[in-house]
Amino acid sequence: MNFVQKIYYNDKPLILTTDSEAYMISDPAAEEYEFFSGGTLRSYTHALSHMDRPGIKGAIIEDISEATLLEQLHAMYMPLDAAGGIAYNEHNEVLLIFRRGKWDLPKGKLDAGENIEECALREVSEETGLVHLTLGEKICDTYHIYEQKGQEYLKRTAWYKMKGAATDKLMPQKEENIMEAKWVSEKDLAPYTARTYEAIRHVLRIAGLHW
């Protein structure tokens, strides 16, 4: 079975796979990605260097061994768990937040002593002000790599569907740089998805939303 893990870096996809040809059949856009063979430090370093350049759409690293791909990845980046969600109200609108110049979904890091589902509910509540919030089905996991205060991280974010209430007063969490929280209908999503991250568009699509 073909192993595939998509990781976002600089809002571009880095694909780890044991069969690049099979992956490109499933995602023809990947034919334009830079290709690197072998799950080595050299491959990762060169792939990320290429992805820093303007005009590069993504990169693929292929190795016959899933374990080799993941061992090198985890040797380079400290793992970090987070969770968030798509909250729907009784009018089937979804809740978006505006942070650092982008529309986003509420999410945050796992605290000590809590499970990932508790983290998802807590973070969505804290970042938006929603009080009446219930957890639904899991949507997917996303991964991205980033640097903060000299440490490089691989963050896995678990995403869930949730039910909220339009009657709750929205209170964007300013200390987390959230300037606005807003309910948006599916038919009105396009202007917001044009100003979000590729990983967020991926989560919305997996959840079955269209724009």
Cα–Cα distance, 157 to 169 (Å, whole number): 26
The candidate with the shortest Cα–Cα distance to 63, out of 133, 121, 5, 143, is 5
Residues spanned by the domain of 124: 80-206
Note the pLDDT of residue 148: 87
Residues 87 and 168 in one domain: yes
Please tell me the pTM assigned to this model: 0.94
Give pLDDT tens digits for 53-92: 999 999 999 999 999 999 999 999 999 999 999 999 999 9
pLDDT at 156 over 90: yes
pLDDT at 198 over 90: yes
Residues 60 and 95 in one domain: no
Q: What is the largest CA-CA distance in the chain?
A: 53
User: Which among 57, 76, 95 is the end of a domain?
Assistant: 76
pLDDT at 1 over 90: no
Average pLDDT over the chain, rounded to an integer: 97
Residues 136 and 70 in one domain: no
Please report where in the chains the tokens 């009657």 appear, as a residue.
Answer: 167
Note the pLDDT of residue 149: 87
Residues 118 and 195 in one domain: yes
User: Which among 76, 98, 114 is the end of a domain?
Assistant: 76
Arithmetic mean of pLDDT, 176-200: 97
